[in-house]
Structures are given as structure tokens and as C-alpha cells.
Amino acid sequence: MSDRQGVFRGWSAARRAGLSGLRFTSLRLRLVVVFGLVALTAAVSASGIAYWLNREAVLTRAQDAALDDFEREMQRHAGTLPVHPTEQQLAYAARQMGDGGQRFSVLLIAEGANDRTVQGSSGKSALDDFTLEDVPVSLRKAVAKEQEITANNKHEYHLYWQRVIVEDTPYLVGGAKVIGGGPTGYMLKSLEPEAKDLNSLAWSLGIATGLALIGSALLAQAAATTVLKPVQRLGVAARRLGEGKLDTRLRVSGTDELADLSRTFNRAAESLEKTVADMSAREEASRRFVADMSHELRTPLTAITAVTEVLEEELDAETGSVDPMIEPAVRLVVSETRRLNNLVENLMEVTRFDAGTARLVLDDVDIADQITACIDARAWLDAVELDAERGRMARLDPRRLDVILANLIGNALKHGGSPVRVSVRDESDALVIEVQDNGPGIPEDVLPHVFDRFYKASASRPRSDGSGLGLSIALENAHIHGGDISAANSPKGGAVFTFRLPRDASPLIAEERSTGTEASDE
């Protein structure tokens, strides 16, 4: 069953590839169409010229033979008739003339006794009878017209002819008058055999044109394949390069333009690989430097923090052991030490995200209890309003959720002002936490950058004592849960940060483990 399904999938893929290769906008189809049109134009032109030349040759040859025979028969038979022949004599002469080699019908007209016009016919026309009405009027007038005798014209009467179509059959009609006096003769010869030969020629030329068109299409397909195969390989290589496989290279053969294009692509890919490797090395060195620096700072900071905590306790105890003159300096040292400690912790957290070593430690959490604990731990109960029902459970990392909430609520208190409203609502399979402050809102030019690292909108908001990493770390923690954070301004005033997170982040850990297993297998 699986083999049959595999064959069906393979056939479907091949069919889709063929259809995509012949889509109307594809270069392959355009090449085939252009080749076909050129071949069709050339074949039709050649066939038309050949047909026209052969047609004229065939008709002229048959016509000349018939007219020459008619002219000889007129001299042999019509020229020997008496001055005033009878109808029987005309009919006999016409039959003798029609029985010649060309087998045409003859009509003889003469002036009989008593100035009466008599005529005789051979009676062998394809028509019922060959009469004077079958002769075109223009031809009769030309035959009867007497010409002036000149140096170039030695006879007063000439032989004239005309082609006519009767019931879709071509005929040759000729006429002449016996020189020196005598009857007028007309001949009618069917050109149907010649027309059949020309029809056969037309069919042959049509078949040849069709074969030429098919051959041109096959040649165009072969040419298109030859031209497009390197282009397709280039497209596949470009897609692989775009997917991050920077070691992709094209096999180069030949010296044509496509080979030059492949060489250019290989040089560009090589340069890009080197540039990305250099940038990755520098980024790794920078990340390692920040991580090492953060770790190195933690040791002296631990000692400094312990000392500052003792000094802060002495200040709060008001025992008088601290000189009032240096009390502001001591408080500044305590504040800046705490700020430096937060900065080092944030830097270490950022390096974990950049290195991809940040991991989730999941637990079942009541969202309302978690928000209350976050607010209570930082003494924000009087400045924050919570709108959340207890019992909304989610499986996530409590520590990282606390970091997200602390950064969002702390940012709202610092920049927006209290009271800050935190609300929780359900949305399909996710939870939505909104943090809205009571400030002037975020300027439109600042909104796209609020989650950028070290970004501070000092021109539009009061100076912050933060590091500029809080919102960025909050967003990274949201992403690692499969959620997201967005910032906007409320129509009622103030900024609103909307945090969406799934109820269960377990699938992310399972996917991460499977990805790690596949990577180790490779």
C-alpha cells in the first residue's frame, strides 16, 4: 500500500512539475510558441509560394497545349469549309476538332445561305451542350473585333481565351476566327484533372507544413530544455542559498553566457559564505565577550552589593554612624550598584537568548495568583489595579512569566504613571494579559522601536534609570513560550501592552527535544 501511495505521489509531483513548466507565463512555453510561430510562418509562406508557382505552371501548360491544338484544328478543319457552310458541315467539322488529342468541346458559327447564321457543336462538353451563351460576352467581343494591320500586327483576328468556373469546376474557354474568311470557333476544355492535381499538391503542402510545425515544436522543446535546465539549476541553488545553505555551488561546464552566470553565482555564494562566516565569528566573539564580562562582573558586584546593603541598613537605622555630608553619595552608590546589578543580570539573560540556551521550566500556574505575587513582591499593590479571575490555569515557566510581568508593569509605572490596570481574558486556546498605564501614550514614531534593545525615547519621555533591555527581554520570554507582545495606544489615553500566551507550552518543549534528537542523529 505504501509503495502504491509513493508511486501516486511521484506521479502527482511529476504532473505538477510538468504543468508548472507549461504554465502560460513560463519561458519554456513562450520559446515553444515563438519557435512554432516562426516555423509556421516560414512553412506557410514556402507552401503558398510553391503552390502558386506550381498552379500557374500546371494551368499554363494545360492551357497552352489546349489552345495550340485548337488553333491547329481550326486551320485544318474549319479553314477548309465552304464560304457558306451548312449546320451539318459545321457539326461534322466541330466533332473532328473535338476528337483531337486535347478532347475539348467545339462550337463553330458561320454565315450560311440567305445570310442566315448557322452553328454546329461537337456535343461532348461536360455541360449538356456547348452553346454561345456559355461563352463570356467579353470574349465574344474580343474574338469578333477586327484588328488594324500594322508592322507588328499581321493578322486582323487573334486567338483569345478566358478561365471560368462552372459549378465549382474550372474551365478554359477560347475563341478564334479563321484568317482570310471563315467560321468563328470556340472551344471549352475542363481543367478538373489539373484542379485535382493542385488539390493533391495543396494537401501535400499542408501535411508538410504540419510536420514542420511539429518538428519545430520538438526542436523548440529540446532547445528550451538545453537553455532552461541551467536556469532551473540556478533557481534551485538560489533557493538553497536563501535557506541558509551557504555551501551551495553550481557545476560549471562550457564557455557560454550561462556558464559565466554559473561562475558569477559561485563567486557570489563564496563571498557571501565568507562574509556570513566572518559576521558570525564576530557576533560569537561579541556574545562571548558580553557573557564573560557579565560573569566576571558578578563576583565583584556580589561583594559591592553586600557592602551597599550594609550601608543602606545603617542609613535606614539612623544611628548616626554615617556622616550626613556623605549620606547622598552613599545613597547614590547604593542606587547605582542596584542598577548595575540589574544590568548585568539582563545582559546575561540576553546572551542566553542569543546563544539559544534559554530553556523553559514548566509548572501549572494560576495566572491571577502569579500576577498578584509579582505586584506584591515589588510593592506595587497601591499603584496597580488587577482585573483577573482566579482559576485561569496555564502550564508555563513561572520565573519567565514573572520577568515579563515585572518588565511590562514596571515600564508602565515608570513611563505612563499610575494607576496601571492589568486585565486577563480568554481568547480561544490562549490567554491575553493587557497592561494599560495612565500616561500620555507612546509617540507614533517610537511604537515600532519599543522592543528594540537599548532603545530609549528620551526626547518624548522622562529619562529612565533602566538599561533599555527590559521590554526586549520580555518579548524574548514571550516568544520562548510561543506567545507575543504588542504595543499600542488606547483610544482612552495611555499605552497598552498586550501579551498573548498559550495555555500550555509543553508542545514547544517536545518539539525542541525532537529537533535536538534529529540534530544529534545527523
DSSP string over 433-451: EEEE-SSS---TTTGGGTT
Here the cell at position 472 is 526586549
Query: Shortest CA distance to 358 belongs to which of 221, 488, 509, 224?
Result: 509
pLDDT of residue 44: 81
Which one, of 104, 148, 146, 142, lies nearest residue 126 by Cα? 104
On the CB side of 271, CA atoms within 13 Å amount to: 6
Residue pLDDT, tens place only, 197-215: 878 888 888 888 888 878 7
Alpha carbon 219 to its chain centroid, in Å, reads 24
Hey, which residues does 109 pair with through a beta bridge?
A: 119, 184
> What is the residue-level pLDDT of the chain in tens, covering all 522 positions?
444 444 444 445 445 544 444 455 566 777 777 777 787 788 788 888 887 888 778 778 888 888 888 888 888 877 778 878 888 888 888 888 877 666 788 888 888 777 788 888 887 544 447 788 888 888 888 888 877 777 777 777 788 888 888 877 888 888 888 876 778 888 888 888 888 887 888 888 888 888 887 877 787 777 777 777 777 888 888 888 888 888 888 888 777 777 888 888 888 888 988 888 888 887 777 667 666 766 677 777 777 777 777 777 777 776 666 677 777 787 787 777 777 777 777 667 767 666 666 778 888 989 899 999 999 888 888 889 888 888 888 888 888 888 889 889 988 888 887 789 999 988 877 889 999 988 888 888 888 888 887 776 554 444 455 567 788 888 888 888 888 999 999 888 889 999 998 888 888 766 655 554 443 444
Residue type, 156: E
pLDDT at position 4 is 46
Q: Is 391 strand, coil or helix?
A: coil
* Angle formed at CA 310 by CA 308 and CA 316, multiple of 5 degrees: 100
CA distance 395 to 502: 8
Amino acid symbol at 464: S
Cβ atoms of 420 and 406 closer than 8 Å:
no
* Structural contact between residues 476 and 353, judged by C-beta atoms closer than 8 angstroms: yes
Burial of residue 217 (CB within 10 Å: 0-12, 13-18, 19+) is middle
- Between strands 117-121 and 160-166, the pairing is unpaired
Query: Are residues 108 and 142 in contact, defined by beta-carbon separation less than 8 angstroms?
Result: no
Q: At a CB cut-off of 8 Å and minimum separation 6, what does 272 contact? A: 241, 246
pLDDT of residue 466: 57
Assigned C-alpha cell, 209: 507544413
Q: In this predicted model, what pLDDT tens digit does every residue of 397-426 receive, in sequence order?
A: 888 888 889 889 988 888 887 789 999 988
Residue 158 burial (CB count, 10 A): 14
Per-residue burial over 85-105, b if 16 or more Cβ lie within 10 Å, else e, is beeebbbbbbbebbebebebb
pLDDT at 303: 78
Nearest Cα to 333, choosing from 305, 364, 363, 374?
Answer: 305
Residues 520/514, Cβ–Cβ less than 8 Å: no
C-alpha span between 486 and 66 (Å, rounded): 99
Determine the pLDDT at residue 435: 92
Joined together, the cell numbers standing for residue 394 give: 496555564
Strand 117-121 vs strand 363-366: parallel, antiparallel, or unpaired? unpaired
| 453 CA to centre of own chain | 39
**How far is Cα 64 from Cα 61, in angstroms, rounded to an integer?**
5
Residue 22 phi, psi dihedral angles, 5° rounding? -110, 20
Count Cα atoms within 13 angstroms, Cβ side, for 394: 27
pLDDT of residue 459: 46
Give dist(CA 100, CA 68) in Å, integer.
Answer: 11
Q: What is the CA radius of gyration of the chain?
A: 53
**Contact between 308 and 327 (Cβ < 8 Å):** no
Separation between Cα atoms, residue 213 and residue 347, nearest integer Å: 72
Burial label, 456 (beta-carbon count in 10 A; 0-12, 13-18, 19+): middle
Contacts of range 388-391, beta carbons closer than 8 Å, 24 or more positions apart: 388/422, 388/423, 388/424, 389/424, 390/366, 391/366
pLDDT at position 9, please? 47
Q: Rounded distance, CA 25 to CA 19, Å?
A: 11
Helix (H), strand (E) at residue 164: strand 160-166
| Residue 59 contacts residue 191 (beta carbons within 8 Å) | yes
Residues paired with residue 365 on neighbouring β-strands, in sequence order: 394
List phi, psi (to 5°) of 159. Answer: -90, 130
Q: Across the strands, what pairs with 177?
A: 184
